[in-house]
Structure 1
């Protein structure tokens, strides 16, 4: 059994260790040490420093994971947001609004009523005034569909913002610790 003399990295005290020893505690300063047996030299390394570095790396890794989650959430939201978009008559895409859906529906209903009254007033044959009812039916369907889509968008946006703010708060907390 070979005894090797090493220096404590905590206080500088001389220690004597067996070549089979891998970890030791200094008798003077009680520092926990790793005994490193290299081919040419044997030396000590403070375990507290290794532990602290490991904790810092784990904290940094947590921040990176949270940042990746935030980026993924933003990408998912862009795709989901696109599914709520409505296309106008000239191909213009916009987000739905409840007020716009109701306004458009009311205008279409009024146009259907006007169609029916003009067609009936001019003495048009039987099926022509019914086109106004068909127009009113499409208007009501569009109004209900548009308001539900706008409501769904509003709820999805609120949920996205809550999740995003929660991730940002977690990132800030992880950076502080």
Structure 2
């Protein structure tokens, strides 16, 4: 039953794709968080308790500190800063991506039985990155090209002769392989 090993390979590919997507999102989030952290750090430097007389109005607007009394050396910085919370530097701003669908194309000559693959997938996906993902199987008919008359099309039966000229000189163009065609990651 090689369908089980195929499912294991599919799940491994999905895990790699999901990790790549997470790394891509993490890179974008880290860049945004780095900029946000720099603003917070600059604001904190400009409004610490020793230097509240030289508050930069632009930084006060960015942090939501509107009514700082320049004579108040404590500045109530923490109160005003907490009143307008910003995303912490180490918290990702987007939810983690998840795999929702796997689209697989199985050729009729691939040797893979679609119903066995589906059953193996249903059992194997529990506890993996594909736990909530649907397996969508597309069956590919046998596509041939005749070397004699040039016919190109599907074989409706397992009669490996040209439907037009009945020649046995045909080449199989499609329907022998299995492909992971698409992953839907949300």
TM-score w.r.t. structure 2 length? 0.30
Select the structure of larger CA radius of gyration: 1
Relative to the length of structure 1, the TM-score reads 0.31
Structure number with higher relative contact order (C-alpha < 8 Å, ≥ 6 residues apart): 2
Q: Per residue, is there more helix in 1 or in 2?
A: 1
